[in-house]
């Protein structure tokens, strides 16, 4: 009888400990995401395929964040001098005229804010002024 009670309580304690561990892991992940605040207007988003985009990011707490007002850098090589020139372009002039990019969160390597005092921010503002 004593052995059966001990087995029951040991099994109960093990199940409770596993439940508690899973609960704490889930709760910890929720708390980390709650603290993440997007304070800047534009962010650089690097994807796992090496592509980089600048834009306004939203829905960061979902499996599919959204990037709007998107810009990217196009590099051109001069065939005569082999000099490389980089140009910032606005995404959306493609045939399908995309106005947003819905990204699988698993493919985002990292994202970081674009400082309003940076050259990239200035170039974005210049491109926006030309559009108007």
The model's pLDDT over 63-94, given as tens digits with 9 standing for 90+, comes to 999 999 999 999 888 888 888 888 999 998 88
**DSSP alpha helix (H) spans, the chain:** 2-35, 119-131
Contacts of 53 (CB under 8 A, 6+ apart): 44, 45, 47, 67, 70, 71, 72, 91, 101
The predicted-structure confidence for 9-63, as pLDDT tens digits, reads as follows 888 888 888 888 888 777 666 554 455 778 899 999 999 999 999 999 999 888 9
Distances from the Cα of 115 to the Cα of 42, 59, 82, 119, 121, angstroms: 8, 21, 31, 9, 7
Tokens 């599919």 sit at which residue? Answer: 64
Distances from the Cα of 102 to the Cα of 12, 17, 30, 132, angstroms: 45, 39, 22, 26
Distance CA 109, CA 50 (A): 9
Kindly report the pTM of this predicted structure. Answer: 0.70
Distance CA 24, CA 19 (A): 9
């Amino acid at each position: 009888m004593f052995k059966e009670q001990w087995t029951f309580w040991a099994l109960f304690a093990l199940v409770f400990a596993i439940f508690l561990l899973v609960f704490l892991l889930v709760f910890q992940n929720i708390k980390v995401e709650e603290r993440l605040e997007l304070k800047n207007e534009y962010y650089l988003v690097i994807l796992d395929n090496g592509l980089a985009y600048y834009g306004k990011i939203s829905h960061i707490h979902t499996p599919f964040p959204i990037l709007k007002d998107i810009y990217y850098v196009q590099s051109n090589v001069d065939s005569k001098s082999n000099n490389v020139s980089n140009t910032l372009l606005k995404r959306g002039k493609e045939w399908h005229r995309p106005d947003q990019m819905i990204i699988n969160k698993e493919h985002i390597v990292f994202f970081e804010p674009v400082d309003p005092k940076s050259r990239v921010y200035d170039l974005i503002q210049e491109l926006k002024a030309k559009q108007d």
